[in-house]
Amino acid sequence: PKWVYAFGAGRADGSAAMKNILGGKGAHLAEMSRLGLPVPPGFSISSDVCRAYYKAGRALPEELKPMVDEALELVGQTTGSRFGDPKDPLLVSVRSGSRASMPGMMDTVLNLGLNDETVEGIAARFGDRRFAYDSYRRFIQMYGDVVLGIDNHLFEEQLEHFKNMKGYDLDTDLTAEEWLEIIRRYKDLVEKELGEPFPQNLHDQLWGAIAAVFGSWQNARAIAYRRLHDIPDAWGTAVNIQAMVFGNRGDKSATGVAFTRNPSTGEKELYGEFLINAQGEDVVSGMRTPQSLTAEARRQSNDRRDSLEEAMPETFAELCAVCDKLEAHFRDMQDIEFTVEDGTLWMLQTRNGKRTMPAALKIAVDMASEGVISREEAVASINPAQLDQLLHPTIDPDAPKEVIGRGLAASPGAASGELVFDADEAVHLRAQGHTVILARVETSPEDVQGMHAAAGIVTTRGGMTSHAAVVARGMGRPCVSGAARIQIDLDKETLSAGGVTLRKGDIVTLDGSSGEVIKGRVSTRQPEMSEAFATLMSWADDIRRLEIRANADSEFDAAQARDFGAEGIGLCRTEHMFFDENRIPVMREMILAEDIEGRREALAKLLPMQREDFVALFELMAGKPVTIRLLDPPLHEFLPHDEAHIGEIAKAMGISKARLSRRVAALREFNPMLGHRGARLLVSYPEIAEMQARAIFEAACEAGEKLGAPVLPEIMVPLVTLKAELDIVRAHVDRVAAEVGEERGMKLDYTVGTMMELPRACLAAGEIGLSADFFSFGTNDLTQTTFGLSRDDAGRFLGEYSDKGIIRHDPFMTLDEGVQELMAIGLERGRAAHPGLKVGICGEHGGDPATIRFCEEFGMDYVSCSPYRVPIARLAAAQAKL
Ligand code: ADP
Ligand code: MG
Ligand code: MG
């Protein structure tokens, strides 16, 4: 088998297309080599070997050895040094990298190839002992941690202790002799912890590191990350072995990370950080505060230290050229790692950069406008589910607030919640329904689950590319990072700043857009939609076929829906209009009436109120279709349930408590969800349907006159099982339409359809379709009734079902296949009986991208969802069509 793929010096065995076996890092290193970019030579061991390694019970196949030896030889030929050569030793990094990006979750070892002998070779070759020993101590620490399993902390302690003793602030303060002393201490530490000395045999080191990187695929945090992101365990990681380049060789050396565009705003500018005389993770570790790449960014952050642009102008120009080339080639914003060794630029990694939603929109629209990608590709590049981030509230700028501290605006959005200091506790509290804000000095990959559970994250250390900032942006969590003036005491669990001390459980608000940390809760307000958002949405609208409507019962919801681009209302639940405090007494009067006359009297009082509601809705929707559902819930829902309440209400109504109690008892049902409701109620009390129909038609006339254009109401009958039910209700509606038409001297245009929410209705769609002008699948009830599962009680065991792998998705969130099949049957039979039957979906699923894809594929006419999900639906509908 071919297990080893070389890259470097303008050539490569692999390419970007081979992510599946080389991992993202390896495939892109190969691709960068092919592009002629400066990549230190190396090779990737394919993820097939990872699978073989686990299959053999964590053992590497024998055949791998000669392949690796040969590849290492080739790297040596390219660099001119040899692995293990005491005079001129080749040093390598051993890096993980799987096909899905899992930043920082697996292990990497740098500076491998050093022992007591070769370190002198390095010192002599570069004429720099300090650098050689610095590299060696880094190696012992990393190897000790990653391969030998010695707690990294113990090494750090040694170093901190030594620095304190000497009164040093920075690692760069140590001299060559002092690093030698540290090396001695580190080696003692290893021997003490392990009972044997630090390995001096370089091949043992190499194979130990390779096995450790494969092993890190199954470390706890990698497993947790895969769960969170749905990455299959079977993929495995590749191992990349690459010649070291040194950013820690003095003042003309540096290491850094960069995004080709700003990952927060999407602005086209080089964005990132670097450190002079540093290596590897120094930039993101928060040990030293990194410097800006561009002069502009330096000015904005008031940093007195030179930016890369100022310190190394030629290298900076070269870096910019590389970025342009990478973007043009990968046709996306890139997140890169680079190192400068003694004035020479080296590329160590590139991948598509994670970004906030506002940035994603701007980048997609800009790149399409620049002609790098097509409009379709721009539309396809946005994850509809993540649009959510944009549509959520931000801090109201006029609200009073007590700002206690400030940090970097690392990930936008605002969140309030209870303060916690521990990632596991965040997970725990979240599970109990709390909203929490996670406060840490800095975060590490171990904290990822806690960050996910938190509504927002604040750290006191680290820059815009710190772990906390990058991960929070990826998750869409607001984040304030590097709030240096805030003190966090992890033992006492307090956060102090500006003379205020907050304890665990206190409410705190973060504004990830301004970097403010605020005491207590702050009111928020709706976001303004960016130009890029509007542009992308208009492109999506050009592509999509499905009509997007909203579920809205109030003027407020309808206005929101219209602003988000809804093309009509797909579901107006009229019962919500009766719960109003002025109306519910009249509703009760109607329910308590002894006979039809009494009910008519009460209904006559409801008529003008209901008419007013509809006039407002019709006017607001300005001629766009509005689907109004006739009364659906059982009457019992409008009555009080407990004794105290019954007494109170009887008194207010001026009737005896006994009489009210009798009526309440009479209407009580064992299973109201499957009881006397919907069409069944309208069959029993047609006067309710008549009143609602009259309100709708009169409102349509009034609004039509005001608008100067006809209003087209769509009247929907809920919970129909039998064609006859629909026929009966429809007859009443038609009669009222004729009456109102006569009274007003005009012919009314309207349609009557049914909500499809019972399995039998789907099966009988061939008959029901004959009497319906439209079907609207009510997938909430259809899911309940198909599963025979109450959505209000299912929470008790659905969690267990999903843990045990019995169900893959919550059927109330993602449309179940059985329910889909019933819908397909209903659609097919309905359309066969009634060509041109209009078919849509309402219910929570209407805003779910996977469901929308199904609706597109089945040729439905529209989806209707909650107002906030309308933009998501518009985008998902376009993507379903691509
Ligand atoms: P991760 O996947 O966690 O980002 P990497 O494999 O990218 O881990 O390695 C971590 C860091 O080590 C990189 O940011 C890079 O700066 C440094 N590094 C890796 N390989 C080399 C190398 N050959 N020469 C110099 N630095 C390297
Ligand atoms: Mg990396
Ligand atoms: Mg229903």
Sequential DSSP letters for 59-128: ---TTHHHHHHHHHHHHHHHHT-BTT-SSSB--EEEEEEESS--TTTS-EEEEET--TTHHHHHHHHHT-
- For CA atoms 283, 284, 285, 289, give the dihedral sign: positive
Minimal-distance CA residue to ligand 1 atom 13 = 280
pLDDT at 420: 97
Rounded CA separation 722/733 (Å): 17
**pTM for this structure?**
0.79
Tokens 């993101």 -> residue = 284
Q: Could you please state the CATH topology (level 3) that the domain comprising 550-634+669-752 is classified under.
A: TIM Barrel (3.20.20)
Provide the phi-psi class of 431: left if phi over 0, else alpha when psi is between -120 and 50, else beta: alpha
551 lines ligand 1 (CB under 6 A): no
What residues pair up with 509 in beta bridges, in sequence order? 416, 518
Given a cut of 80, whether residue 526 has pLDDT beyond it is no
Contact 881, 855 (CB under 8 A): no
Given a cut of 80, whether residue 680 has pLDDT beyond it is yes
- The Å distance, Cα 273 to ligand 2 centre, comes to 14
Retrieve residue 659's tokens: 């009489």
- The Å distance, Cα 386 to ligand 1 centre, comes to 30
Helix ranges restricted to H, 568-674: 584-592, 596-621, 643-653, 657-667
Tokens 């947790």 -> residue = 224
Contact 725, 683 (CB under 8 A): yes
State what percent of residues in the chain have pLDDT above 70: 99
Name the binding residues.
573, 629, 757, 778-781
Given a cut of 80, whether residue 870 has pLDDT beyond it is yes
For 390-473, where are the E strands, in sequence order?
Answer: 394-395, 402-406, 408-411, 414-420, 436-440, 456-459
Which amino acid does the sequence have at 152? N
Digit-coded pLDDT (tens) for 587-603 = 999 998 888 999 999 99
CA nearest neighbour of 206 among 26, 60, 388: 60
Mean pLDDT of 351-356: 92
467 lines ligand 1 (CB under 6 A): no
Give the largest Cα separation in the chain, rounded: 107
Domain extent listing, the chain = 254-381, 392-525, 550-634+669-752, 642-667, 757-882
Three-state DSSP class for 546? Answer: coil
SS3 percent helix, strand, coil of the chain, rounded to 5, is 50, 15, 35
Sequential DSSP letters for 602-623: HHHHHHHHHHHHHHHHHHHHTT
Q: Residue 153 catalytic?
A: no
Q: In sequence order, which residues have a C-beta less than 8 Å from that of residue 706 and are 6 or more positions away? A: 615, 619
Rounded CA separation 215/209 (Å): 9
Angle at the Cα of 875 from the Cα atoms of 869 and 878, rounded to 5 degrees = 140
Q: Which of 467, 636, 732, 834 is catalytic?
A: 467
Minimal-distance CA residue to ligand 1 atom 1 = 104
ipTM for this prediction: 0.94
Contact 651, 587 (CB under 8 A): no
CA nearest neighbour of 348 among 467, 242, 210: 242
Tokens 């993540």 -> residue = 386
Ligand at shortest distance from the CA of 347:
1
What residues pair up with 142 in beta bridges, in sequence order? none
Q: Do domains 550-634+669-752 and 757-882 have the same CATH topology?
A: yes
Ligand at shortest distance from the CA of 571:
3
pLDDT at 11: 95
Given a cut of 90, whether residue 437 has pLDDT beyond it is yes
User: With 0-12 CB in 10 A as exposed, 13-18 as middle and 19+ as buried, what is 431?
Assistant: exposed
- The Å distance, Cα 256 to ligand 1 centre, comes to 10
Minimal-distance CA residue to ligand 1 atom 15 = 280
Helix (H) or strand (E) holding 487: strand 487-489
CATH of domain 392-525: 3.50.30.10
Given a cut of 70, whether residue 317 has pLDDT beyond it is yes
* Inter-CA distances, 311 with 222, 248, 289, 335, Å: 38, 16, 16, 22
348 lines ligand 1 (CB under 6 A): yes
Retrieve residue 465's tokens: 């590319």
CA nearest neighbour of 336 among 411, 267, 285, 261: 261
pLDDT at 256: 95
Rounded CA separation 478/469 (Å): 9
For the ranges 126-140, 189-203, 275-289, 366-380, which has the lowest average pLDDT?
275-289
Report helix angle 584-592 to 657-667, nearest 10: 80
Contact 343, 500 (CB under 8 A): no
Q: In sequence order, which residues have a C-beta less than 8 Å from that of residue 656 and are 6 or more positions away? A: 650
What secondary structure, in 3-state letters, does 727-788 show?
HHHHHHHHHHHHHHHHHHCCCCCCEEEEEECCHHHHHCHHHHHHHCCEEEEEHHHHHHHHHC
* Inter-CA distances, 871 with 352, 376, 547, Å: 25, 17, 12
Given a cut of 80, whether residue 579 has pLDDT beyond it is no
pLDDT at 540: 98
Minimal-distance CA residue to ligand 1 atom 10 = 280
Ligand at shortest distance from the CA of 634:
3
Round the average pLDDT of the chain to a whole number and report it.
92
pLDDT at 800: 81
Given a cut of 90, whether residue 695 has pLDDT beyond it is yes
Q: How many residues does the chain have?
A: 882
95 lines ligand 1 (CB under 6 A): yes
Ligand at shortest distance from the CA of 255:
1
244 lines ligand 1 (CB under 6 A): yes
280 lines ligand 1 (CB under 6 A): yes
- The Å distance, Cα 193 to ligand 2 centre, comes to 29
Confidence label for 359 from pLDDT (cuts 50, 70 and 90): very high
Contact 626, 555 (CB under 8 A): no
Minimal-distance CA residue to ligand 1 atom 27 = 280
Rounded CA separation 516/406 (Å): 5
205 lines ligand 1 (CB under 6 A): no
- The Å distance, Cα 328 to ligand 2 centre, comes to 21
Given a cut of 90, whether residue 763 has pLDDT beyond it is yes
Most confident of 441-445, 606-610, 667-671, 787-791: 606-610
Digit-coded pLDDT (tens) for 769-791 = 999 999 999 998 999 999 998 87
Angle at the Cα of 427 from the Cα atoms of 423 and 430, rounded to 5 degrees = 130
pLDDT at 21: 95
389/410: higher pLDDT: 410
Rounded CA separation 302/288 (Å): 17
Retrieve residue 774's tokens: 């439209």
Minimal-distance CA residue to ligand 1 atom 9 = 108
Retrieve residue 410's tokens: 């690392």
Confidence label for 430 from pLDDT (cuts 50, 70 and 90): confident
Q: What are phi and psi of 573, to 5 degrees?
A: -85, 105
Three-state DSSP class for 425? Answer: helix
Q: Ligand 1 pocket check: which of 90, 93, 253 to mutate, most ligand atoms within 8 Å of Cβ? A: 93
CA nearest neighbour of 510 among 475, 480, 546, 490: 480
Q: Residue 467 catalytic?
A: yes
Minimal-distance CA residue to ligand 1 atom 6 = 95
339 lines ligand 1 (CB under 6 A): yes
- The Å distance, Cα 782 to ligand 3 centre, comes to 8
Rounded CA separation 746/738 (Å): 9
Contact 319, 325 (CB under 8 A): no
Name the binding residues for substrate.
573, 629, 757, 778-781
User: Count of H helices and E strands in the chain?
Assistant: 35, 32
Name the binding residues for Mg(2+).
757, 781
Retrieve residue 303's tokens: 């940093």
Rounded CA separation 243/81 (Å): 10
Q: In sequence order, which residues have a C-beta less than 8 Å from that of residue 874 and are 6 or more positions away? A: 537, 540, 541, 544, 548, 565
- The Å distance, Cα 294 to ligand 1 centre, comes to 22
Q: In sequence order, which residues have a C-beta less than 8 Å from that of residue 203 and are 6 or more positions away? A: 84
Domain 254-381 CATH superfamily: ATP-grasp fold, B domain (3.30.470.20)
Minimal-distance CA residue to ligand 1 atom 11 = 280
Q: Ligand 1 pocket check: which of 78, 90, 92, 95 to mutate, most ligand atoms within 8 Å of Cβ? A: 95
- The Å distance, Cα 723 to ligand 3 centre, comes to 17
Q: Closest ligand 1 atom, CA of 97?
A: 2
What residues pair up with 524 in beta bridges, in sequence order? 395
Would you tell me which CATH number, out of the four given (3.20.20.60, 2.30.40.10, 3.30.360.10, 3.40.50.10320), belongs to the domain 757-882? 3.20.20.60
Q: Which of 762, 842, 855, 865 is catalytic?
A: 842
Digit-coded pLDDT (tens) for 505-514 = 999 999 988 8
Given a cut of 90, whether residue 637 has pLDDT beyond it is no
Contact 843, 778 (CB under 8 A): yes
CA nearest neighbour of 224 among 55, 385, 446: 446
40 lines ligand 1 (CB under 6 A): yes
Ligand at shortest distance from the CA of 339:
1
Given a cut of 70, whether residue 392 has pLDDT beyond it is no
Digit-coded pLDDT (tens) for 850-862 = 999 999 999 999 9
- The Å distance, Cα 25 to ligand 1 centre, comes to 10
Q: Closest ligand 1 atom, CA of 246?
A: 25
